Structures are given as C-alpha cells and as structure tokens.
Amino acid sequence: MHYNCFMDKRITTSRISTILNAFGIHEEPIYITELTNGNINGTFRIEMPTGHGYILQSVNTGIFKDPYSMMRNIDLVTNHIRKTIIAEGKDPSRTTLNFHRTTEGSLLLSCEDGLYRLADYIHDSMAFNGKADASVLSKAGEGFGQFAARLSDFDASLLSETIPNFHNTKLRIESFERTVEENPCGRLSDCEKETSHLLEKKEESSVLCNMLEHGEVPLRATHNDTKTNNILFDKNTHEFLAVIDLDTVMPGLLAYDAADTIRFSANTAEEDEKDISKVSLDLSLYEAFLSGFLGKTARFMTKLEKETLVIGIQTIVYEQALRFLDDYIAGDKYYKTSRPGQNLDRARCQLALYDDMKRKELQMHSIARGILRANLGC
C-alpha cells in the first residue's frame, strides 16, 4: 500500500501524523525538528505528549538499492544485540536501536515519494562530531568493540551485502584500472604520480582479500561506517550507549571496522587538506582507539585476525585513496565536492596517510601487540 505522505523541509504536523498512523501511533506530536548531521537520509526527531520520542527517516534508495534487505540486516542484528543485552542484565531500550513496524508488519513505509522508517529516540544521549581527542576515541573504541563483541557469535552469512563488494579491494583496483585506461575527462595527467604509486601497492593491498577468499580470516557482522558520530553516549556520564547508523551493517572483516575510525580520527590533517606535509598518523590517537576496541574484542579474535589487524587498517586507507582518485579521474561522479580538485586532494591525503602508516608499521604492530597482551594476560 502507498501512502500520500510527502516529506520535505516544509513538513507539517499533519503529514507526520499520517506517517505515524501508518506505524500504529495515533497521538499528535508536540515537537518536530529536522536533524541535519547525516549525509544520506533525511531525518526528523519527533516528540510526543507522553514524553516518548521517535526518529523518522527517509531512506536513500539511490545509495541503498535494496532497502528491504538493508532493513532485514538491521532487524537481525538489533534483535541479536537486544537478546545479548538482556542476558547481560541491562536495559536494551537505551543500548540498541529499536525500529517500529507498520500496521501491515513492514519495517518500511512506502509513500508516493519514497520509503520511510521509524525508530525510538534515545533521550539524554549525545554524539561527538568532528575531530575526537584520545578520551573520546578510547570510548568510541570501547563502543564499536562492544558492538562487535555482542555480534561475535552471530552468523554473518545471514546478512545481505547492502552495498555489494563494498570492501572488495581487488574489485576496487580493477575498477580503478579501467577508469585510468579510459581517462574519460582527461584528468590522468593531473595525477600520474599518485596513480603509479597506488598501482605499485596493489598486490600487498590485496592480501586480506586473498585470505578471505581462502577462508583464512572469518567473515563477521561489521558496521562498515565506524566514525565517532555513529556512537551515542550518555549525555550526563559520557558512557557508551549504542552504535547507530546501521545501514551498512553487512558481512565484513573486523579489522576494517577498526580501520575506518583510525583513518578518519587519527589523521593529523583534514580529509581534504591541500598541504600533505600536514598529514600523518597520530600514534597516541591510534593507541587510544585500539585500547578501547581491543579491550572488547581481543578474547574472541582469531590468531590471524590479530596478526593482520595492522594490514587491515592500512588496506582501508589504501582503498579510500583509490576510491577518491578513481572518482576524480571519472569526473567527480560519486563523492560530493565543494571545489575543483577536492577529490584529488582527498586521494593525496589518504595516500600520504597510507605512506606514513607504512613508515610507522613496526610501531603500529608494537602498540597493537602490547594492548593484546594486556587484555589477554600473556
């Protein structure tokens, strides 16, 4: 069934009420505000007279081609986490996301202008936006580590790939090579040095893909967008509450979830910094995040997962450099840009970060091993 419930910046209380009614909620909201932190889905916070709150989101079907599989993934993962939290003797209402079903039993409401979903709002919570310090990164590491730990006994094969081959580095390399060969916008001359450097590193950056293909490292239920603003903390105690933005939950490698936070938060420069001399890996921030993350994951990680953790972190940085440069050469078709050459600057930053990680590889391994020893008592 399709509902006439158009959503835009002129959204009215009556339109919200129409949507809420479809989810079996018949109170009139007393407060509605648009949340603008997200880049993909339109998001509204709704407060009811009872004090209950909701998050209403439109689903971007341009990015997520199979939104029903995406919501099935989220449902499977949140139900598993909820059962684990209850077994721990804790309250799941504040420590995992809870999505509502429509009166027809669907997690998505189909309207004339798209698909919508409804979740409970977690009151007295906060997210950290922007660059995080060591204290925040340690707590973020604990949060994402706890998320992984609660899913450590979950069968990842039950999940669909919401974005197929998202972290298939070998296919990303093949795509990059095709774009370089075609050079559709004549931009290759701007970045021949960076292109050669990336292609020189393609074999060592395919190691984890090869290991996965041979079943040497396990597929796990992973988040795949582990930025610090995708964690909710208690507003008063600053303790970890829940991991949010679960749209990219799918089968993946544990190291990649560690990598994305480190890539974004332990870089000493902004992601599009023009002066790459400012780019480096901050080892203190790297250690802060890993201390929290491995504190929750060390006991269930396999031997090879521990040994390839640093390789996994480096691989994601390499892959992101590849993706930015691929998009630049192709004509800036995927990533939003606010100025000419921004994707080229982004690629150069990631490549500089990758190079710095290679220079600091022994230190990265040493820090990771020290944290693992501290948590495993050996």
Q: Which of 86, 102, 123 is the last residue of a domain?
A: 123
What are the beta bridge partners of residue 232? 242
Average pLDDT value for residue range 161-166: 90
Whether residues 151 and 292 share a domain: the answer is yes
Final residue in a domain of this structure, among 123, 149, 164: 123
Q: Are residues 152 and 51 in the same domain?
A: no
Highest mean pLDDT among 12-16, 165-169, 364-368: 364-368
Same domain, 212 and 92: no
CB 46 within 8 A of CB 56: yes
What integer pLDDT is reported at residue 3 of this predicted model?
A: 41
Tens-place pLDDT, residues 32-61 = 988 866 544 578 999 999 999 999 998 888
Structure tokens at 222: 């992973």
Same domain, 223 and 325: yes
* In the chain, alpha helices (H): 13-22, 67-87, 134-150, 169-182, 192-200, 207-213, 254-265, 283-297, 303-307, 309-330, 342-359, 361-376
164 shares its domain with 23: no
Q: 296 and 148 in contact (C-beta within 8 Å)? A: yes
**CA-to-CA separations, 62 to 115, 162, 251, in angstroms, rounded:** 12, 12, 21
Looking at the fold, whether 235 and 351 belong to one and the same domain comes out as: yes
Residue 125 is encoded by which pair of tokens?
């919570």
Q: What is the pLDDT of residue 37?
A: 60
The reply to whether 64 and 150 lie within a common domain is: no
- 7 assigned to some structural domain: no
Helix axes 169-182, 192-200, angle to 10 degrees: 150
Q: Answer yes or no: do 197 and 305 share one domain.
A: yes
Residue 24 lies in a domain: yes
Is 176 a domain residue?
A: yes
For residue 246, give the CATH number of its domain: 3.90.1200.10
129: in domain? no
Under a CB-based contact definition with an 8 Å cutoff, are residues 134 and 284 in contact? yes
Asked whether residue 5 is domain-assigned, the answer is: no
pTM score, two decimals? Answer: 0.92
Residue 164 lies in a domain: yes
Q: What CATH number does the domain containing 109 carry? A: 3.30.200.20
- Domain boundary pick from 63, 94, 123: 123
* Domain carrying residue 37: 13-123
SS3 label, residue 186: coil
pLDDT tens, position by position, 289-348: 999 999 999 999 999 999 999 999 999 999 999 999 999 999 999 888 999 999 999 999
Q: Is residue 6 part of a domain?
A: no
State the Cα–Cα distance between residues 259 and 257, nearest whole angstrom.
5
Alpha-carbon 343 to chain mean position: 20
- Residue 34 has a pLDDT of 86
Q: What is the average per-residue pLDDT within 110-114?
A: 84
Question: 150 and 36: one domain?
Answer: no
pLDDT at position 16, please? 85
* Domains identified in the chain, total number: 2
Centroid of chain to Cα 67: 17
Distance CA 102, CA 117 (A): 9
